[in-house]
Structure 1
Amino acid sequence: MLNLSNKKIIITGAASGIGKAIAAQSVDCGAIVIAVDIDSDGLERLEKEKGKNNIIPFVFDASKMEQVELFFSEIEGYTGYPDCLINNVGIYYGKSILDYTQEEIDRVLEVNIKSAVYFSKKFAQYKMRNKEHGCIINMSSVSGQESSSDAIYGLSKAALIGLTKSNAMNFSPYVRVNAIAPGIIDTPMMKTISSSRLAQYRERELISEPLTPEQVANTAIFLISDAAKHYTGAVFDINNGCYLR
């Protein structure tokens, strides 16, 4: 098990799914997790499961700049500045672009893209100003690398890959920036994927065992750790081989 002792990690969308799995494994490796979500009940359950000394919950909407600024002003005095940021929060409607409303388009782009922009900006500003080293992980998707039945979701995840590469350059040498691009994962979000689309993914997978949030978390833990200190600007595919590039 990799050692994350003394590391403080911000995780957006930490109340469920991949975010919760990363939070749990980070604590198991010795880290303190600053857990951000709008789901107060989910954060409370996470805190009970992993301990109040290990989870610091913040109920904020990560897609609103004014709330992100408030969040960073609070944590600076409350916990000391974090070592790592994981931009994980995301939403998925699982519908055709032809059926999207303007409000739904705006919400996906706000949550999936703008939240990562806002958090990355505030995190890197502090690190670069103080010449401190840190890391950012953006949670992208296989949908950002190949065609998606939900074009707006695919657009948002492709944007995170572009953000990753640009910020790796812009934030060097102090902040490493990488992305993880999972395939189909056994989370509540999978219920919104049509059975026909899910079958297409499954047919192309080279590994039969379903991908779980915990296995994605393994990759995140590696990227947080000092073992990954020479990785930046990279996209880590974890998709059972359904998309090879």
Structure 2
Amino acid sequence: MTTMDLTGRTAIITGASRGIGLAAAQAIAAAGGNVVLTSRSQESADAAAAEVGGAALGVAAHAVDADAARRCVDLAIEKFGSVDILVNNAGTNPAYGPVISQDYARFQKTFDVNLWAPILWTALATEAWLGEHGGAVINTASIGGLGFEANLGLYNASKAALIHLTKQMALELSPRVRVNAVAPGVVRTRLAAALWQEHEQLLNDATALNRIGEPEDIGAAIAFLASDAASWVTGETMVIDGGQRLGDAALFRKGPVAGA
């Protein structure tokens, strides 16, 4: 029988000081796993690890710093004995506006963090442990990578590339390593604040399940994909959006048109 028991397994979660990353760490820890949480500062990494409690370790590691990433993988193996799960969650969006209005610095930062970092961390974890022992990689993408939105073109392009990369790596690392992604809709995080903070009720009304997402919604899905309950799932992108991609649910709640 397949279960979501992660006892004895160790997960590294990048960008885990808050939001989806922290929720993923909490969900994996609740399932019995050891967790290593990364953040750009040691202080925030330690605070997040303390919030998770139990077998949690905070490590300062900027997502695109190869030396810090390698050190984090080594520390995880040294403390817990393995790296069975990698959650590539760190993300950024410094580029708001039309694609052709962006400069190279914003393009580079967006793609370095959102695309290169998952390649870097997956390569290091595979070399150190996953390649020989197997395990699971979960990438945090976005429903933006599945469509088009005004002013978010560069960010969405990076997430579309990450969805493609997920499938590519699922083939390259098969059969030992499963590689999947989650594609959240609008979730109550600081990164997504501009999408919900000033008009949350309108967004709730337009969403089939009548609310925006919470980090815990995504964290639970990540823990599922990391577990044996998803042992025959690879190369997939799980959309978790409360039905946002279905369209404006408010239009379906107005009742029948008079005289129809």
- Scaled by the length of structure 1, the TM-score of the pair is 0.90
Q: How does 1:59-208 map to 2 (within 5 A)?
A: 59-93=60-94, 95-96=96-97, 97-127=99-129, 129-130=131-132, 132-148=133-149, 149-193=151-195, 204-208=206-210
Bigger mean CA deviation after superposition, 194-203 or 42-51: 194-203
After superposition, what is the alpha-carbon deviation per residue over 1:194-240, rounded to whole angstroms, capped at 9, x for unaligned?
Answer: 87997886565211022100011111111111111000011100111
Bigger mean CA deviation after superposition, 30-39 or 100-109: 100-109
CA distance in 2, matches of 1:14, 1:196: 25
Letter in 2 for 1:146: G
Letter in 2 for 1:121: A
Q: Contact 1:128–1:171 at 8 Å: present in 2 too? A: no
SS at match of 2:91: coil
**Aligned-pair CA distance for 1:172:** 0.5
**Aligned-pair CA distance for 1:155:** 1.0
Letter in 2 for 1:4: L
**Aligned-pair CA distance for 1:176:** 0.3
Q: What is the alpha-carbon root mean square deviation over aligned residues?
A: 2.4
* Pick aligned residue for 1:30 from 29, 32, 38: 32
- Work out the percentage of aligned pairs sharing the same amino acid: 26
* Pick aligned residue for 2:10 from 8, 11, 15: 8
Q: Contact 2:184–2:240 at 8 Å: present in 1 too? A: yes
* Pick aligned residue for 2:230 from 228, 236, 239: 228
Q: 1:32 to 1:134 in 2, by over 3 A?
A: same
Q: Contact 1:94–1:192 at 8 Å: present in 2 too? A: no
**Aligned-pair CA distance for 1:188:** 1.2
- The alignment covers a number of residue pairs equal to 243
CA distance in 2, matches of 1:94, 1:160: 17
Q: Does 1:58 align with 2:59?
A: yes
**Aligned-pair CA distance for 1:72:** 2.8
Q: Contact 1:204–1:241 at 8 Å: present in 2 too? A: no
CA distance in 2, matches of 1:12, 1:4: 18
Letter in 1 for 2:139: N
CA distance in 1, matches of 2:197, 2:213: 17
CA distance in 2, matches of 1:186, 1:197: 12
Instruction: Mark the runs of 5 or more structure 1 residues left unpaired by the alignment.
Output: none
2:251 is aligned to: none
Instruction: Mark the runs of 5 or more structure 2 residues left unpaired by the alignment.
Output: 248-260
CA distance in 2, matches of 1:244, 1:110: 31
Q: 1:198 to 1:144 in 2, by over 3 A?
A: farther
Letter in 2 for 1:169: L
1:214 is aligned to: 216
CA distance in 1, matches of 2:88, 2:205: 30
After superposition, what is the alpha-carbon deviation per residue over 1:38-70, rounded to whole angstroms, capped at 9, x for unaligned?
Answer: 03332222222232x411111011112233233
Letter in 1 for 2:61: F
* Pick aligned residue for 2:47 from 45, 48, 51: 45
